[in-house]
Amino acid sequence: MRFYGASGTEIRQREAGAWVDRRTRGVAKVTLPSPSLWVNFWSRQHSSQAYPTLELFLADVTEILCEEVTELARLGATYIQIDAPHYALLIDPVTRGFYEQQAALAGSSESMQQWLDRALELDNAVISAAPAVTFGFHLCRGNQASRWLAEGSYEPIAPTVFRKIKAHRLLLEYDDVRSGSFEPLRHVPNDKSVVLGLITTKTPHVENREELTQRVRDASRYVPLERLALSPQCGFASSVIGNRISLEDEKRKLRLLMETARAVWG
């Protein structure tokens, strides 16, 4: 089909929407990076000619992502996930040091708490660009090539992140002991649901359905079952490198996910 009067970009976007519609009756999720994740890509040495300050750089990143979200909503997107792995890195003193160093290089005198508040402002600006869209907010601890980057409870960031982010769903990695207990879920407000990432995408080991069911029940001590959901802890191929896991392993895990969800929620 030709679209007269439309730009090449608009035609490709419409064709992409039609491609999705032909392949699923479900809701398609679009994923975008958190704007504050881009602090990783600013360098005083290499970026200062274009962006003298980190704040100017993040302002442009946020504006671009707001425009992207607005366009996705115009094209019919109803579910967008913001990927924010860097927040989990603030939990671990080893990885937290990188962000403290970046703040120092940027000449910022802000504390980590002030930086966290500012980062969430940028995320919320992107979310607010499409009020009718459902937003998920994904906290990850590394997934490329089955690696992991940080460990520790969500407790140090939960009171701020869980309460202040304007997303409707929190997608949290909980596939092993490095993520800590479910106790930080007590900070989740009543207007948010939690997607428990209990099934690992990093290894071919297939979890036990009874154990997964019990873990969901354990989490329901802090968030009621009607506001809980189940998922893999991250994507099976969150980058072109993928993970150390086969397609058959992935299928087994997805079948397990469906069986466990039926056992818990009917």
* Per-residue model confidence as pLDDT tens digits over 97-110: 776 776 665 555 56
Do 149 and 120 fall into the same domain?
A: no
How is residue 247 written in tokens? 């397609």
Q: Is residue 79 part of a domain?
A: yes
pLDDT for the residue 4: 35
pLDDT for the residue 1: 29
Do 208 and 220 fall into the same domain?
A: yes
Do 74 and 37 fall into the same domain?
A: yes
Judge whether 169 and 194 are in contact, CB under 8 Å. yes
Do 111 and 177 fall into the same domain?
A: no
How many CB atoms neighbour CB 31 within 10 A?
13
Do 148 and 245 fall into the same domain?
A: yes
Q: Is residue 88 part of a domain?
A: yes
Domain of 214, in residue numbers: 140-162+169-185+198-266
% of the chain beyond a pLDDT of 90:
49
Do 65 and 152 fall into the same domain?
A: no
Q: Is residue 10 part of a domain?
A: no
Q: Is residue 17 part of a domain?
A: no
Q: Is residue 77 part of a domain?
A: yes
Do 97 and 177 fall into the same domain?
A: no
Buried b (16+ CB within 10 A) or exposed e, 147-175: ebbbbbebebbbebbbeebbbebbbbbbb
CA 219/CA 154 separation, integer angstroms: 14
Do 181 and 93 fall into the same domain?
A: no
pLDDT class for 17, splitting at 50, 70, 90?
low
Do 122 and 154 fall into the same domain?
A: no
How is residue 14 written in tokens? 């419409």
Do 42 and 78 fall into the same domain?
A: yes
Do 114 and 158 fall into the same domain?
A: no
Do 203 and 131 fall into the same domain?
A: no
Q: Is residue 126 part of a domain?
A: yes
183 or 93: which leads in pLDDT = 183
Q: Is residue 129 part of a domain?
A: yes
Give backbone dihedrals phi and psi of 104, rounded to 5 degrees, phi first.
Answer: -65, -45
C-alpha dihedral over 121, 123, 126, 128, to 10 degrees?
-60
What is the total count of domains within the chain?
2
Q: Is residue 103 part of a domain?
A: yes
Please tell me the least confidently modeled range out of 10-24, 76-90, 132-146, 218-232. 10-24
